[in-house]
Amino acid sequence: MQPTENFSFELCRETADWLLARTRQRPRIAIICGSGLGPLADSLKNPESFKYMDIPNFPHSTVSGHEGQLLFGELQGKPCVCMKGRFHMYEGYPLWKVTFPIRVLKLLGVETLLVTNAAGALADSYSVGDLMIIRDHINLLGLAGLNPLLGPNEERFGPRFPALSDAYDSQIRALAMDTARLLGYSSFVKEGVYCMVGGPNFESIAEARLLHVLGADAVGMSTAAEVVVARHCGLRVFGISLITNKVTKDYSAKENVDHHGVLEVSRRRASTLQALITALVGRLDSCSSSSGGQKDGETYQNGV
């Protein structure tokens, strides 16, 4: 079982306190930028940035393509915060630490979380460069007993047994599909199921075949754990994957995927994803929460 003794509401509040004291921004939308997708964060207006290594209690990003900065600013006139790089269990972090920033974002006043990632396609109809709006996920780590909510529940964040049948907000997904249509992106924007695996190795052929049979359209090494914690906190969630490679399901195939190839596709498609996210943020309704959960972050922020 993963350790839980280092996670507490007070630890998250200490980090949120530190950030709120050092920025004028009060974000309502948070964006997590996946592998090679950091340029999303660079589009913020009036940015204020903090290196992860300088933020109390924050993990440090160790993966190429994850720069390790928290950026505050405005996107389409709306206060936002971007994680330029995320954390993974394969870096050696327990899942409570991987998802620690999500709870901090909640205490900063964030109400809507947009998560992006680079993923491999399992669905035969997907092509490299496609964008997949995440309809649902398969959290293999969670099914195996590795869940960021393990240990005593913190009621100030959410309930002991959160439901995930509505993990990815249906209204935001519909808005994103419509936004893609308006931008002329419909031909390469899909909607599907994302599967999170532990990594850091890419999947074997037998594993890829299994995941496809289970109903996964794309696979990656992040996102699902973050979404579990975000929903536990009552945040609205939207997720999107950039398809950077086709996962091999054929033993006669000769090509192999590598991280450099993933980053190269991410760099080439980053502007397209940035345009979609930017337009989507501009169309979000006043960032109001549909979760019906307690707004701990807003209450806390107003008391600062």
Taking the whole predicted model, whether its pTM rises above 0.85 is answered as: yes
Q: What is the pLDDT of residue 255?
A: 76
Q: What is the pLDDT of residue 2?
A: 45
284: tokens are: 């979000």
DSSP H stretches of helix in the chain: 9-20, 39-42, 95-98, 100-108, 140-143, 170-183, 205-214, 224-232, 259-283, 296-302
Which residue in 73, 90, 102 sits closest to 231, CA to CA?
102
Q: Which residues of the chain have pLDDT under 70?
A: 1-6, 36, 64-66, 286-304
Whether 222 sits among the annotated catalytic residues: the reply is yes
259: tokens are: 């991280």
Q: What is the pLDDT of residue 301?
A: 38
Whether 221 sits among the annotated catalytic residues: the reply is yes
Whether 259 sits among the annotated catalytic residues: the reply is yes
Which is the catalytic residue, given 61, 245, 266, 291?
245
Residue 91: count of CB within 10 angstroms of its CB: 17
DSSP string, 112-171: EEEEEEEEEE-STT--TT-EEEEEEEEEHHHHTT--TT-SS--TTT--SS---TT-S-HH
285: tokens are: 């309704």
Whether 260 sits among the annotated catalytic residues: the reply is no
Q: What is the pLDDT of residue 66?
A: 55
296: tokens are: 């701990």
Q: What is the pLDDT of residue 295?
A: 40
Which is the catalytic residue, given 16, 41, 119, 221?
221
Which is the catalytic residue, given 14, 57, 60, 90?
90
Q: What is the pLDDT of residue 61?
A: 80
Q: What is the pLDDT of residue 6?
A: 60
Whether 212 sits among the annotated catalytic residues: the reply is no
Q: What is the pLDDT of residue 26?
A: 96
Which is the catalytic residue, given 74, 259, 275, 289?
259
Which is the catalytic residue, given 147, 222, 241, 266?
222
Which is the catalytic residue, given 43, 83, 88, 176?
88
The domain 9-302 is placed in CATH, from the list 3.40.50.1580, 3.90.1300.10, 1.10.150.570, 3.30.70.2860, at 3.40.50.1580
CB 28 within 8 A of CB 110: yes
Whether 137 sits among the annotated catalytic residues: the reply is no
Whether 186 sits among the annotated catalytic residues: the reply is no
Which residue in 107, 106, 30 sits closest to 71, CA to CA?
30
Which is the catalytic residue, given 74, 91, 207, 275?
91
Dist. CA 25–CA 242, nearest whole Å? 29
Domains of the chain by residue range: 9-302
Whether 66 sits among the annotated catalytic residues: the reply is yes
Which is the catalytic residue, given 35, 117, 147, 241?
35
pLDDT tens digit string along 224-238? Answer: 999 999 999 999 999
